[in-house]
Structure formats: C-alpha cells, structure tokens
C-alpha cells in the first residue's frame, strides 16, 4: 500500500548531476540551463551534449559553458542518435542523484531539493517523480507548496502500472539515484520511443518509487516538433513499444515477475488498441490508409489477448464498423465525445494529484 508522509528538506546540500542532450534546440538551451543553475538547496553540475546539430546549438552551448564553471559541454562530430547521447551523459554523472532533461524542457524552481529530500529520507527509493506542466511559449507560474510525498514499494508500483499499461511519467520531472541508474545500465536502444517507460519499470524492479505531490516539478514544452512526435508517430508503434517494455521486463525478471502481471499488461494493451480502433470509426469509415492501420491494431489486439477481441471493446468495434459500412454514424456521437472529454479530464486530474493514471476505457 502506498504511504504518504509529510515532506522535509534534504540533509545538507546533495550533488545532482543534470544531463541535457541537445539536437537543433539551441534556441531553447539558455532557458533550460538557467532553470537548472538557479536550483536552490542542492549542488548542481550540468553536462550539455550536442549531437552534431546542424544549427547554432553547439555555439550556444559553448557560450553557456564559458559563463559558468558548473556547465560542461560535449560536442559530437557525427550524429549518434538520442539513446546513445542519453547514455553517454548519464554514464558520466558524478552526483549522488541524476536528471536527464531535454533541452526544450525546464525544471521548476526548487524541484531538485524537493526530490532530493525524499531520496534522502527513503534510501530504498531509486526514482522520484512529480507533475510536469505542459506549456507552449511561456511556462505558467508554478505551484510551489508541497502537499505530501507518496512512496510505493517497487512491486506495488509495478503491479499498478502493469494493470493500467500507461506511462504515468513525462521524464523531465524524474530524479534518480545515480547508483540505481548505473545498475540499470541506461536506456535500451531497442525502444526509441518507450525507452524511458522501460527505465521506470526497471527502476521499480530494483527499489521503491517516490513522488512529490501538490507542486510542479518540471515543465514539458509542447511545440509540435518534440522528438517523440517527430520520430515515433502512430498508435500502433506506441502500443507495440509499450508491449515490448513489459515483455522485456518479464524476460529479465523471470519468476520474480508474476505471470498474472504479464497477462494483465497484454490485456491492457489489447484493450487500448481496440478503443483506438473503435474511435476511428465513430464518424464513419476512415480514409484507406487509416483503415489499414486500424486493421493492424485490431489484429495486434487479438494476438495479445484473443478474449479481448470478443469482449466489450471488441464488440463495440465490430458495431462501429458495421454502422460505418451501412452509412450510419454512431448514435449520440456528440454526447459520446463530450463524455470522452469529461473522462479524460477526470483521469488527468487524478493523475496530476496521485501520479497514477486510470486504465484506458475507465474512470
């Protein structure tokens, strides 16, 4: 069972190493770097790694490193890709705690001290996260009053996530114990889109998971050119990689991961695939390319969990396809759209408050 405790500051001034990989995000770098250097209550060191950007990112990074001795700059002569860049920076971290922060994101004021306080108080916790606010141009004023800390045992957090099959963590808000990161061996190159999700699952298999509640720990910039949108589009790829995360974890843990969790994860991914497929037919037959993707989603769901294909969401999909082929739209589709928005809002508020998302297709 999750425990909730009152927060307290870290002991002393722990050192936190922050790694900022950059590719074509030089115009975002100054704000990102200053959000790190302005952190209070901790000692920080920051490494910027430019992955052979074709713009002026390297020049911007060099200038920032020259301004502050806490900043180190590494430049790649050739592009190595984001996973290799992440791992290079994390392997060089020397602080007690470590953060991977994209060059287009920001830390909220005081975020590192709040996370370090939890890690200091609970030596068994290997990973701390919180809430990341999204923004486009300027970040809104942050919530700054900590309500509580949540601490889950690793197996408990794993079971929750295996049943919900969604990634409850954005990434910029994560602070990890450096020893945990080294034990995990970095990000897995087999998962260009979901390597972070596998990292959190692996961390939970090694120790407890903590969360700082009630405040904004980071800012996630949304600009339409985010790496995960640019390189890894599509529901099928997203769901396939999430499924692979659970399969890799199951193979690694063996008997330490109960078989019922693997079944739950497969059923959850299948359920989500069928929900996406159903929604694609809500307003009539989708375009041919979209219909082909939907068909692959349904086949993928049936492969993972044949029972789901003939259950509630599978039957809803069949009904939606039949209506679309007959030239009829879903009954009360506007009401259904309003209901979906309300459900998403309730789920979002619950996730913001607790750090745990609801399963797809539920409240």
Predicted confidence (pLDDT) per residue in 188-210, tens digit: 999 999 999 999 999 999 999 99
pLDDT of 40 > 60? The answer is: yes
Indicate whether 276 and 336 sit together in one domain.
yes
**Residue 253 belongs to some domain of the structure:** no
Indicate whether 144 and 76 sit together in one domain.
yes
Is there a contact between 312 and 266 (Cβ–Cβ < 8 Å)? no
pLDDT of 208-239, one tens digit each? 999 999 999 999 998 765 444 433 348 899 99
**Residue 212 belongs to some domain of the structure:** yes
**Residue 250 belongs to some domain of the structure:** no
Q: Give the CATH number for residue 181.
A: 3.90.550.10
pLDDT of 331 > 70? The answer is: no
Share of the chain above pLDDT 70, in %: 94
Indicate whether 187 and 322 sit together in one domain.
no
Sign of the C-alpha dihedral computed for residues 310, 314, 317 and 319 taken in this order: positive
| Residue 332 pLDDT level (bands cut at 50, 70, 90) | low
Last residue of a domain, one of 194, 215, 231: 231
pLDDT of 363 > 60? The answer is: no
DSSP alpha helix (H) spans, the chain: 29-37, 57-67, 82-91, 111-121, 154-164, 178-184, 195-206, 227-231, 235-253, 259-280, 288-304, 306-309, 312-325, 333-354
pLDDT of residue 54: 96
**Residue 236 belongs to some domain of the structure:** no
pLDDT of residue 230: 37
**Residue 344 belongs to some domain of the structure:** yes
Indicate whether 54 and 141 sit together in one domain.
yes
Last residue of a domain, one of 215, 231, 247: 231
Indicate whether 80 and 133 sit together in one domain.
yes
Q: Which domain holds residue 311?
A: 258-353
pLDDT of residue 283: 76
Last residue of a domain, one of 196, 231, 266: 231
Tell me the mean pLDDT in the region 21-50: 97
pLDDT of 125 > 70? The answer is: yes
**Residue 85 belongs to some domain of the structure:** yes
Count of structural domains, the chain: 2
Indicate whether 124 and 163 sit together in one domain.
yes
Share of the chain above pLDDT 90, in %: 79
């Amino acid at each position: 069972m999750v425990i909730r405790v009152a927060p307290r500051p870290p002991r002393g001034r722990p050192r936190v190493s922050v790694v900022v990989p950059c590719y074509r995000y030089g115009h975002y770098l100054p704000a990102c770097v200053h959000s790190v250097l302005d952190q209070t209550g901790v000692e920080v060191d920051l490494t910027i790694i430019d992955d052979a950007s074709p713009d002026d990112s390297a020049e911007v990074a060099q200038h920032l490193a020259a301004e502050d001795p806490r900043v180190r700059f590494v430049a790649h002569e050739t592009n190595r890709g984001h996973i290799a860049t992440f791992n290079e920076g994390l392997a060089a971290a020397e602080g007690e705690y470590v953060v991977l922060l994209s060059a287009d994101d920001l830390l909220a004021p005081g975020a590192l001290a709040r996370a370090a306080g939890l890690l200091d108080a609970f030596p068994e916790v290997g990973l701390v996260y919180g809430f990341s606010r999204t923004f486009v141009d300027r970040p809104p004023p942050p919530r700054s009053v900590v309500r509580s800390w949540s601490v889950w045992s690793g197996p408990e957090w794993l079971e929750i996530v295996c049943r919900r099959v969604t990634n409850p963590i954005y990434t910029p808000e994560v602070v990890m114990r450096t020893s945990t990161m080294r034990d995990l061996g970095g990000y897995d190159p087999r998962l260009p889109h979901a390597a972070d999700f596998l990292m959190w699952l692996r961390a939970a298999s090694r120790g407890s998971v903590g969360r700082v509640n009630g405040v904004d720990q980071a800012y996630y910039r949304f600009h339409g050119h985010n790496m995960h949108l640019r390189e890894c589009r599509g529901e099928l790829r997203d769901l396939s990689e999430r499924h692979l995360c659970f399969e890799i974890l199951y193979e690694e843990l063996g008997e330490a991961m109960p078989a019922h969790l693997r079944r739950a994860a497969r059923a959850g991914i299948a359920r989500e695939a069928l929900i996406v497929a159903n929604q694609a037919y809500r307003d009539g037959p989708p375009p041919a390319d979209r219909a082909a993707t939907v068909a692959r989603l349904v086949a993928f769901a049936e492969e993972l969990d044949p029972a789901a294909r003939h259950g509630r969401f599978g039957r809803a999909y069949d009904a939606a396809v039949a209506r679309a082929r007959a030239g009829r739209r879903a009954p009360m589709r506007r009401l259904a759209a309003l209901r979906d928005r309300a459900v998403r809002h309730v789920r979002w508020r619950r996730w913001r408050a607790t750090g745990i998302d609801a399963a797809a297709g539920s409240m």
